[in-house]
Amino acid sequence: MPKQKVKVKITKKKINTKNIIIFLVITIMLYFATTYLIKLPITNIYITGNNIVSDKEIISLAHLDNYPPFIKTYFRNLKKEIKQNEYIKEVKIKRKFFGKIYLEIEEYTPLCIYQDKLILSSSKQVPNTYKIDYVPYLINNPSDIYNKFIENFSKINKDTLVKISHFEYVPNEVDKERFLLYMVDKNYVYITLDKIEKINKYNSIIQELEGKKGIIYLDSGDYVEIKGWHS
Banded model confidence at residue 231, pLDDT cuts 50, 70, 90: very low
The model's pTM is 0.76
* Per-residue pLDDT reduced to its tens digit, 194-230: 999 999 999 888 887 777 788 888 887 655 656 655 5
Q: Which amino acid is it at 112? A: C
Cα separation, 32 vs 28, in Å, equals: 6
Highest average pLDDT, of 2-11, 183-192, 217-226, comes from 183-192
Spell out the domain ranges in the chain. 39-107, 110-230
H or E element in which residue 17 lies:
helix 17-39
When computed from its CA atoms, the radius of gyration of the chain, rounded to whole angstroms, is 34
Residue range 110-230 in CATH 3.40.50.10960: yes
Q: Are 177 and 194 in contact (CB under 8 A)?
A: yes
Cα separation, 193 vs 93, in Å, equals: 36
Chain-wide mean pLDDT for the chain?
85
- Better-scored residue on pLDDT, 166 or 214: 166
* Per-residue pLDDT reduced to its tens digit, 33-82: 665 566 567 888 999 999 999 999 999 999 998 877 777 776 678 899 99
CATH number of 39-107: 3.10.20.310
Q: Is the dihedral of CA 158, 160, 166, 170 positive or negative?
A: negative
